[in-house]
Amino acid sequence: MVDVAAAEQRIATFLAEAPYGRGLMDMAAEGARRGWHEANGGNVSYRLRAAERSEVEAVRAELDLACGLWEDLAVAVPELGSEAFLVSAAGSFMGRLDQAPARRLGIVELDESGVRFRISIGFSDGGRPTSELAGHLLIHSAQKARDREGRVLYHAHPNELIVLSKMVELTPRAVTRALWKATTECILAVPEGVGVVPCLVPGSLELARASAEQMERFRAVLWAQHGLLCAGSTWEDAFGRMDSLVKAAAVHLATRALAGEAVVPNVITDGFLRAMNEQLHLGADDAFLRSEDK
C-alpha cells in the first residue's frame, strides 16, 4: 500500500534535487519576482535526457507507483515518441512551484508513436499538465529538429512585450528590428530574430500550431497581447533570452514615450547592426538588417 504523503514527499525531493527540476523552479521563481507571472500566468517544460528518464523510472519503482492511464494527445508528435517532459501543472502559480513541486509539476511520457501521453510522476493532487501542453510538444518537436540539445521552453507574460505587441506591426521583421535597435545586446540574444503570432486563444491548437511554425526558425516567439515563449539549451539560456528581450522592449517603449513626435537623436543604425553581425559572426538574416524589405 503506497503511503500517499510519503510518496508525494519523495517526489518533491526528487524534483527539487534533479538539476533540471531545481533549475526550472529557480527560473520560474525569478520570473515571478520580476512580475512576469501574474496568478498562474506562464508555463514551462523540459525534455528529459535518457539517463534522466531512467532516474524517474527508479523513483517510481522505489515507490511502487503505477503510471497514469494513456490519453490521446491533441496533436501527433511522432518525432517525440518515447520522450518524457517535466511540465508545470495547469493553473499553478509559477512563483510557488517549489512550495509543492509534486503537485505543481509533473513528468509526462509519450508512447512510441507520439500520439498518446500518460502521467509518470507528479500532479499528485489530480492536477493536469499546462493548458499549453500541445503547443509545448509541437515546439519541442520543432526545436529538437533544429537543435537536438534544445530542451527547455519557457513561457511568461512580461508587461513590456505585451505592450510592444500593441505598438508594433505584428511581423517578425518589424518586431525583431524594434528590439534589435533598442540595445546592442539584443541581436546577440536572438541573432535569428523573434517570431510573432497574432492574438489567439490561449491553450488553443491554433496558437500551438502557429507558435511551432515560428519556432522552426526562431528561439523566441511573441504572442500578441499575451506574452513571450523562449527556447533554450539550459534554463539560463532560455531565461537569459527572455530577460534580454524584456529589457529591449522596455528600452524601445521608454524611448518612444519620451520622444513622442520628436526624432530620437541617437539610434542604433542598420549599418551598426550589420557591422555587429559581421564582426561577431552572428549569422543574422540580411533581410532584417535593412530598412527596406527586399
Active site residues: 132
234 binds ligand 13P (CB under 6 A): no
Question: Please, which residue, 160 or 192, has the CB nearer to ligand 13P?
Answer: 160
Alpha carbon 112 to chain centroid, angstroms: 24
Smallest distance from the beta carbon of 275 to ligand 13P, in angstroms? 38
C-alpha 204/C-alpha 210 separation (Å) is: 10
Question: Please, which residue, 87 or 250, has the CB nearer to ligand 13P?
Answer: 87
Segment lying near ligand 13P (by CB under 6 A), choices 3-11, 86-94, 256-264, 282-290? 86-94
Whether the CB-CB separation of 45 and 143 falls below 8 Å is answered with: no
Question: Please, which residue, 59 or 238, has the CB nearer to ligand 13P?
Answer: 238
Smallest distance from the beta carbon of 63 to ligand 13P, in angstroms? 26
Smallest distance from the beta carbon of 269 to ligand 13P, in angstroms? 36
The DSSP string of 66-126 is PP---EE-SS--GGGTT-EEEEEBTT--GGGGGGSHHHHEEEEEE-TTSSEEEEEEE-TTS
Interacting positions 38-57 with ligand 13P (CB under 6 A): 40-43
Q: What does the block give as the cell for 83?
A: 520522450
Q: Which residue has the cell 498518446?
A: 116
Interacting positions 109-138 with ligand 13P (CB under 6 A): 130-132
For the chain, helix (H) and strand (E) counts, in that order, are 11, 9
Smallest distance from the beta carbon of 93 to ligand 13P, in angstroms? 9
Those residues whose C-beta lies under 8 Å from the C-beta of residue 146, and which sit 6 or more positions away, are: 216
Question: Please, which residue, 88 or 165, has the CB nearer to ligand 13P?
Answer: 88
What's the CA dihedral at 94, 18, 109, 28 to 10 degrees? 10
Site string for ligand 13P, 133-172 (x = CB under 6 A): ----------------------x-----------------
**Contact residues for ligand 13P (CB under 6 A)?**
40-43, 88, 90-91, 130-132, 155, 202-203
